[in-house]
Chains A and B, each alone.
Chain A
């Protein structure tokens, strides 16, 4: 039995304490089971809280962009508006579509949610809060997030509705093509980091974030990642899959109640995941902002706990993505594919070569 330890700056001592005490109380099998349950419940809670908060944040940001006030009745500044919405969605009837493929119809939201969870498992939230640290972390995230589209495609097909079908097809074409750009921009950063393990990538930025270390190619990769990531989450200006004015609600037209809420939530969590990958790979994740040589400044920065750094960076990127959505008009499908295949992909390929050159010549900081 170890003493209880809790250090906000290094949570690995706390997780280690939980681990050791569980193994001292139960058999290894049950200790592992309890750990899995604890992590699962913690993830679930985090997921729900972040989802609700993001929906609120989106409505507020949208309101400010359009010179409105936004939700302001339920709770202070309308803060628990989304909780009320959730309760409403939970109590709504699940409409059963008679001529749909019911098994696939109810499976689709779960595929989307499971994919979200599997991605979140590999994200380093703070020092020591990292469910699985694969040595291929970046590859794993790319692999898992490429499966989210399956849920969307199945949802569109099994609803037996033309709007849903068109929405699903668009979203499929969009995600399959923009995945390339997301992957290539992450590969560019892997070249600089020399590793695909997310913990190593974060540690490597203790002196200086990668976006500054890799200067020109890193900034190009960051911009491409933001564009392609926004497209991958099916958000505006790339929200062709659910373009309200053309397709009612796209692939989730036929969904109601909580299964609609699953899609809705998954979309916001996807945005959160994309933002947190961007924050981890480009802006150093939970690593505080350091300038090498300025010890006093670095100490002040170290005073802010890592989790706050992580959440802060992620929310700055989320805010940029919301800004995109509420200021740019929606693209047409041909413009969307032209942007990816004729502009982003060639730029990306050249960018990788440029980054390799810079790393080989030692021109990075």
Chain B
């Protein structure tokens, strides 16, 4: 076993265990923290692939942004003694069936694809290329999705302000 494999198995086991705990934990903040572990380990996998830009973005957006927002809203709304109710056996039977079906589908798809080890040497993704592509109007440029997303976010922001505003009578 070389170092890469060791790290991969470590990240993979953290991801699997924490994602199971995320959905089974009955305390909501613990679930959020397990989700944080999943997201951080995923970014660890990106670091292993030498795609540091994506890894850092994963950390900023998901771990630093979304999880912080989730925890913040939990802090505002829930109390420490709260626990989710136990799920009825009927419901858990159906969800188990759904989970198994999904897992089988995924495994079949993965097994159908023949993964072959790449010959190319791993290389660093140059930041300048990423930056230019994000703002380029050429064939592979991302300027259009970038603008569309920013308009969408603006709309969402205005919408949330309107929703949160008090209605004057």
Contact = CB atoms under 8 A, between A and B. Distances in A.
A158 B29 contact: yes
A135 B75 contact: no
A165 interface: yes
A33 B3 contact: yes
Contact of B29 (A104, A140, A147, A179): A104
A29 B75 contact: no
Interface string B59-96: 11001110110011011100011000000000000000
B52 A32 contact: no
A150 interface: yes
A176 B2 contact: no
B77 to A, nearest CB: 11
Contact of B2 (A29, A100, A144): A29
Nearest to A153: B71
Given A157-B75, A168-B75, A140 B52 contact: yes
Query: Chain B interface: which size bin?
Result: 20 to 34
Nearest to B3: A32
Interface string A94-120: 000001110110010000000000000
Q: Is the interface of B mostly helix, strand, loop or mixed?
A: helix
A195 interface: yes
B6 A196 contact: no
B53 A101 contact: no
B127 A154 contact: no
B1 interface: yes
Interface string A138-181: 01101110110110011011101000010011001000100100
B124 A101 contact: no
Contacts of A360: none
A291 interface: no
Q: Is the interface of A mostly helix, strand, loop or mixed?
A: helix
Given A158-B29, A196-B127, A150 B67 contact: yes
Contacts of B53: 136, 139
A140 B57 CA distance: 8
Given A101-B27, A143-B60, A150-B68, A156 B75 contact: yes
A28 interface: yes
A64 interface: no
A198 B160 CA distance: 38
Interface string B107-123: 00000000000000000
Contact of B3 (A29, A104, A107, A142): A29
A35 to B, nearest CB: 10
Contacts of A168: 75
A176 to B, nearest CB: 7
A341 interface: no
A248 to B, nearest CB: 18
B64 to A, nearest CB: 3
A139 B124 CA distance: 15
Most-contacted residue by chain A among B36, B63, B68 (CB, 10 A) = B68
A134 interface: yes
Nearest to A196: B127
B24 interface: no
B30 interface: yes
A153 B29 CA distance: 10
A135 B52 contact: yes
A47 B1 CA distance: 32
A134 B50 CA distance: 10
A199 to B, nearest CB: 13
B126 interface: yes
Nearest to A175: B68
26 contacts: A29-B3, A29-B6, A32-B3, A99-B80, A99-B81, A101-B80, A104-B29, A104-B30, A104-B33, A135-B124, A136-B52, A140-B59, A143-B57, A146-B59, A146-B60, A146-B64, A146-B68, A147-B59, A149-B68, A150-B71, A154-B71, A157-B29, A172-B72, A176-B68, A179-B64, A196-B127
Interface of B: 1-3, 6, 27, 29-30, 33, 36, 40, 52-53, 56-57, 59-60, 63-65, 67-68, 71-72, 74-76, 80-81, 124-127
Given A140-B59, A168-B75, 4 more contacts: A101-B30, A104-B33, A153-B68, A172-B72
